[in-house]
Structure 1
Amino acid sequence: MSKIALFGASGAMGRSIAAALGAEGCAYRVVGRNEAALRAAFGHDPLAECVVWNPGDPASVRAAAQGVDTLVYMVGVNYWQFELHPRLMRQTLEGAIAAGVRNVVLIGTVYPYGRPRTANPVREDHPREPHTFKGRMRKAQEDLLMQAHAEGRIRAAVLRLPDFYGPGVEASMLHSAIQAAACGGVAQMLGPIDRPHEFVYVPDVGPVVLRLARHPEAYGKIWHLAGSGATTQQALLQELERLAGHPLRRRIAGKTLLRIAGLFNPFMRELVEMHYLITDPLIMDDTALQQLIGPLGKTPYAQGLRESVEAARRARAANGLAGERA
């Protein structure tokens, strides 16, 4: 396989795709803005080529994309800076096209759909009618990519994911509860926690991305990768309590509490407009993806939570040992 580059590789999804590539013995490039973060995540892997880029510098973007066949785009921004998403996509596309990149796969979200307009689970033909600023920015990002595909400048695909979780995944709604089950403390959750929801287990994502990126019929379309079935945060919390062996202390933040916390915390403030995804859940149908690439390996929630808790316990023990040595 020609070289693949993971732009925005330091996050959970980048590490999952890198692990899938490593399992196949495939060389790959990881691209990010922070060299220390790249080295920490991938410096141990001889298959990984670490490249630092500046997305605001066209020469830097071209250099990061040079010699690449397929670019997987996962570039993140602060939750209160979503206006950067279209700008970064435009700059990346210009550099990638100039460098001769053939394919771009965007790891996307459900934000461009807005409130669900059809019964769950929803398919890829659901209207893209975002009513939030974040949804509009994500839609603009997708539109730039798919326009480049329509113009024949590059081949493009979007893979939408739901919320996610997994070992060491801090940017997850379930992270606090997993930590509480593993190490004690309070499970901080977004409520109400009894509404349907779905989560994808991060280690399951990498192999799916590779299969999609390699399929010639994947491009020019948007695809769904659903979670391991509809569940509730309440059900997952009960499973975490079973793993912990005792009830967990919990603090559930609804929309009102988010507004109050947002007076002091910009991240919490930005969660308010997306709270509809808790109260009016959007569950995805990934039948089309299965028909394209075949069966999808999905880790059951009980197993995924167990592996996440075990990883958190190992990390705590390792940190304690490091502290003793220091």
Structure 2
Amino acid sequence: MDIQPSRIALFGAAGVIGQSVASALSAQGRHYRVVGRSESSMRRQFGHDALAEVKTWDPDSPASVQAAAEGIETLVYMVGVDYWRFELHPALMRKTIDGAIAAGVKRILLIGTVYPYGLPQTPTIREDHPREPHTFKGRMRKAQEDLLLEAATEGKIEAAVLRLPDFYGPGVEASFLHGAAQAAINGGTADLIGPIDTPHEFVFVPDVGPVVARLIDTPEAFGGRRVWHLAGVGVTSQQALFEEMQRQVGHPIKLRVAGKTMLRVLGLFKPMLREMVEMHYLQTHPVLMDDGALQRLIGPIRKTPYAEGIRQTLQAVRDGVEPTPPGGARRAKAAGIA
């Protein structure tokens, strides 16, 4: 059987956003390349999909980036770093840009966050909102974006940034809501970061992939300094989604809420929680996104209602499975893959 060449590469494909994008491309019957650090892990996640081409890379090496990006037209960048090592974001982006340009990549789409905006200056945030980060993590994310957008402005490569709010969904362990879903099904206490009644928005991870697939097929999405937003299905709160979980499981769930002071105390023992202290402003000064520009560009966007998203998230906990990977197979935690 002839292997068709991949024209799209997903760098950092092993994460939940990468799996969502891969699933969307696979559903369209499109060949794609997944790039990650561990070949065994990548083959475990994507080896069952005949449309997936697996490659490994060393993100610290532009030569390795170039080899992983050879023959690629569009590179989707979703590379994560440890939450306490955000200084790596700009360095990795610079090496990726250099390697991608050397490989002849036409465009890069960076999946970004709201961190570069800093404190919100308007009730809802459009793409032209000032980027004035007051946190270290926000400055590192802004520096990452700037490297890519400057390369695009200089005509070295086409670029776009797609910014996402917090996300949730089946198997999404990095979500604020993951622990609550576990407690809802398995018992125990749901730990949330408060205040939990503040307006907030979440994007359902399976909704992201189809949007990215459409975006990379839209030439107008890329250019000198193109930035787009994908907002949640609407404004909600952690409190509202916690109550929705209680409604769906039909019984009360024990709840424990940690504020900023408690995060500092817990951070003495857990580095991850310590690193969340500087980002606590997102719980008190929510960044709510306006994605009207994106919808005008690619048309209406399907967004899963929160009640349905919670239903699927809870069902995944009941079933003990990860998100459905590309190709349709499901992987059980009992198999030791999670």
TM-score interval, smaller chain? over 0.9
The residue aligned with 1:198 is 201
Partner secondary structure for residue 158 of structure 1: strand
CA distance in 2, matches of 1:81, 1:320: 29
Residue number in structure 2 paired with 1:149: 152
Q: Does 1:34 find its partner at 2:38?
A: yes
State whether residues 9 and 33 of structure 2, in contact with CA within 8 Å, keep that contact through their aligned partners in structure 1.
yes
CA distance in 2, matches of 1:302, 1:244: 12
1:224 equivalenced with 2:229 (yes/no): yes
Structure 2 CA distance for aligned equivalents of residues 321 and 284 of structure 1: 38
Question: 1:45 — aligned with what?
Answer: 49
The letter of the residue matching 1:195 is T
1:14 alignment partner in structure 2: 18
Residues 171 and 321 of structure 2 are in contact (CA less than 8 Å); yes or no, is this contact kept in structure 1? no
Q: Give aligned pairs, total.
A: 322
From 83, 101, 104, the equivalent of 2:105 is 101
Matches of 2:251 and 2:231, distance apart in 1: 31
- SS of the residue 2:320 aligns to: helix
| Mapped partners of 1:58, 1:44: distance in 2 | 29
**1:136 is aligned to 2:125:** no
Worse-matched range after superposition: 135-144 or 26-35: 26-35
1:65 lines up with 2:72 in the alignment: no
Matching of residue 301 in structure 1 with residue 294 in structure 2:
no
Runs (5+) with no aligned partner, structure 2? 323-330
Q: Which residues in structure 2 correspond to 1:75-224 (within 5 Å)?
A: 75-118=79-122, 120-220=123-223, 221-224=226-229
Q: CA deviation at 1:320?
A: 8.3
CA distance in 2, matches of 1:320, 1:78: 23
How far residue 58 of structure 1 moved from its aligned partner, in angstroms, is 2.2
Does the 8 Å CA contact 1:183/1:316 hold for their aligned counterparts? no
Q: For 1:2 and 1:32, how far apart are their aligned partners in 2? A: 16
How far the C-alpha of 1:244 sits from its partner, in A, is 1.5
* Counterpart selection for 1:266 from 263, 271, 296: 271
What SS does the aligned partner of 1:197 have?
coil
Structure-1 separation of matches of 2:308 and 2:132: 36
Could you tell me whether the CA contact under 8 Å between 1:164 and 1:200 is conserved in 2? yes
Separation of aligned partners in 1, 2:162 and 2:321: 33
Aligned amino acid, residue 152 of structure 1: G
Q: Which has the higher helix share?
A: 1
Are the equivalent residues in 2 in contact too, given 1:105–1:159 (CA < 8 A)? yes
In the alignment, which of 238, 242, 248 is matched to residue 233 of structure 1?
238
Please say if residues 112 and 135 of structure 1, whose CA atoms lie closer than 8 Å, have aligned partners that are also in contact. Answer: yes
Cα contact 2:6–2:53 (8 A) shared by 1: no
- From the superposition, tell whether residues 322 and 223 of structure 1 become closer, same or farther in structure 2 (CA, over 3 Å): closer
Judge conservation of contact 2:9–2:69 (CA < 8 Å) in 1.
Answer: yes
Over aligned residue pairs, what C-alpha RMSD do you find?
1.6
Shift of 1:21: 0.5
Point out where structure 1 has 5 or more consecutive residues left out of the alignment: none
**Equivalent-residue separation in structure 1 for 2:251 and 2:184 (angstroms):** 9
Per the alignment, residue 284 of structure 2 pairs with 279
Instruction: Give the structure 1 partner of residue 317 of structure 2.
Output: 312
Q: What is the Cα deviation at residue 36 of structure 1?
A: 2.8
Structure 2 counterpart of 1:210, one-letter code: A
The alpha carbon displacement at 1:319 in A equals 6.0
Q: Which amino acid aligns with 1:57?
A: S
Q: Which amino acid aligns with 2:300?
A: P
CA displacement 1:72-123 (0-9 Å, x = unmatched): 00000000000000000000000000000001000000000000011x2111
Residue 252 of structure 1: aligned partner: 257
> Which amino acid counterpart does residue 58 of structure 1 have in structure 2?
P
DSSP-derived class of the 1:36 partner: helix
